[in-house]
Structure 1
Amino acid sequence: MAIPVRDYSLKSQNSRVNNLAGNSDSIKYQATGEISTSGTSTRRDMDSLIEQAYKQIFFHAMTCDKDKHLESQLRSGYITMRDFVRGLLLSERFQQGYYQCSSNYRMVDQVVGRVLGRSVSGESERLAWSIIIAEKGFAYFIDQILESDEYMINFGYDGTPAQRGRLIPGRSTGDMPIYQSFPRYGQDWKNSLIEREVVNKTFTTGGERSEIKSLVNKPPEWLIKSWLVLFAVGGFEIARVILTIGISMVKN
């Protein structure tokens, strides 16, 4: 039996939510809702939409992170933008870079912010979705978000997820985008890296220099000495062979 999402109360964000981009393209999007593709979209338009999707989900997407198979299916019309976004969220890149180094609570913040384009409505919504992740898994949670009425009303099958701001007079600049507001992992993951001695305690989010430790422990002292002896013997033997060849060439 499917587990229903726990009821949570919505909170008003009108008074404190500022427009993302001030008087730029964000306003046109909010006023017209022109975010979906059409049959006359050019290749450049599709490239722009795909890059926007990568940026919204990954923020910085390297060439090796991009899924050419998904892109090809989207360009050919075999899948919708919603399917493309689902593929990115369930990709190995997102699993390793976000899901495996975040708690369920943090994943709710990440996914709701990146996919629905807004912050969570308090602890009640965060708790409701985190229970879904714990009971049914991350893939089920993604399906619930992408198939929700909120997503379909705002983005539909072909719209690219984007932060949903509001027009507030008297503000020329907007807030930081959600994909920049949430780093890949939080302080709890950093603490676990320190405990496992992957990084030193100097690893901070401030200006201090990070000192990355080797994942492999230092080899035993006897092994280091043995390697040095073999290196010295090998070097001596190579020098002897070269010298012997040189003397033979001179005699001939």
Structure 2
Amino acid sequence: MLSSTSVITSFGGERETKPSISFKSGQTKSSKSAALSNSEFQRRQCEGMKLAIGPRLHDQCGTKVTFEEFPDISQESLENAISAAYQHVYGNAHVMDNERSASLEAELKDGRISIQGFVRGLAKSDFYKKNFYDKCSPERTIELDLKHILGRTPHDQREITKYIEIQAANGHQAVIDSMVDSAEYSETFGRHTVPYMRSWRSQAGSAQSAFNRTAAICLGYAYSDKAIGINSKLSQGLKTGKAESIAFPHASTLNFSGANMILKRGKPAAWIRKSATVLTIAGTIEITRIILTIAYNAFSS
């Protein structure tokens, strides 16, 4: 059986198992003013219930499940949150200084927007549009939107189709708003937590196929979503309903759990290596003896 650590480190999952990063500006405006949108009204209903955030079913926000947040307000947390948001929302792409969203960063630092608003802004930016919308197939675009905003892969082809219809009718920004304003986003990340891939902390009811699909699109530390193709990586599996198989990189080393006496750090234990050496020598001697015996009998006859 493959150990969970082995699987994680074999396709870059170490990054996905780190603690989530949160930040809240000490200057964030009070929520006592009137709610100006349905999503804001729903969020406030949820906050009042004082339940912990985390993986769960996400279709009853405001009635049965909600969250309470305890974000950091330090300057270090702010910088970490900004860096993590760029890395996650931009699909691990390298971002030049002139490609950063200076205005969004200023709004976040001033408390005019939360991390949730910062994520929304990054997903609507020219950088995002150029790399994950203009150059990608519709299926690939939605696949990446779900990954970058909700931290998961599509549930099925119907979900892909639903968002493609929203995109066709109202544009890509409407898809972003739909995801950021969803109950799932509020319950999982709230206003102050940077989204993260949830394969290792899946929501309640998540299928095994979701974990496999995450492995198919998270290819290690060096990968970048903008550089691994414009077509969907999950199209066939979503259309057939079959789970993707986990394809490990050629350079990956697999460790096996429950066999520490046999394997250590991916290699056979010393006693096994010594035994193999002895058996190899003994086998070589025996084969040599047989060959010499046959040769001797041949010449004698």
Normalising by the smaller structure, the TM-score range is 0.5 to 0.7
Partners of 2:161 and 2:128 lie apart in 1 by 22
Aligned residues between the structures: 163
Question: Residues 25 and 134 from structure 1, CA distance in 2 versus in 1: closer, same or farther, beyond 3 angstroms?
Answer: closer
Partners of 2:219 and 2:113 lie apart in 1 by 26
Name the counterpart of 1:192.
none
Question: Which AA in structure 1 matches 2:229?
Answer: G
Question: Residues 119 and 70 from structure 1, CA distance in 2 versus in 1: closer, same or farther, beyond 3 angstroms?
Answer: same
The 5 Å alignment of 1:38-187 reads 38=24, 39=26, 41-58=73-90, 59=92, 60-166=94-200, 175=215, 177=218, 180=223, 182-184=225-227, 186=229
Contact conserved, 2:140 with 2:230, CA < 8 A, in 1? no
Question: Which AA in structure 2 matches 1:105?
Answer: E
**Gap runs ≥5 in structure 2:** 1-6, 27-71, 203-213, 232-301
Contact conserved, 2:135 with 2:230, CA < 8 A, in 1? no
Question: Which AA in structure 2 matches 1:143?
Answer: D
Question: Which AA in structure 2 matches 1:141?
Answer: V
RMSD of the alignment, in Å?
A: 3.1
Partners of 1:187 and 1:74 lie apart in 2 by 31
**Gap runs ≥5 in structure 1:** 1-17, 169-173, 189-252
Contact conserved, 1:105 with 1:130, CA < 8 A, in 2? yes
Identity %: 26
Deviation at 1:77, TM superposition (A): 0.5
Name the counterpart of 1:213.
none
> TM-score, normalised on structure 1?
0.56
Partners of 2:98 and 2:12 lie apart in 1 by 33
Name the counterpart of 1:212.
none
Contact conserved, 1:113 with 1:178, CA < 8 A, in 2? no
> TM-score, normalised on structure 2?
0.48
Contact conserved, 1:19 with 1:167, CA < 8 A, in 2? no
Contact conserved, 1:133 with 1:140, CA < 8 A, in 2? yes
Deviation at 1:36, TM superposition (A): 2.6
Partners of 1:45 and 1:159 lie apart in 2 by 11
Partners of 2:107 and 2:201 lie apart in 1 by 36
Question: Residues 97 and 145 from structure 1, CA distance in 2 versus in 1: closer, same or farther, beyond 3 angstroms?
Answer: same
Question: Which AA in structure 2 matches 1:37?
Answer: F
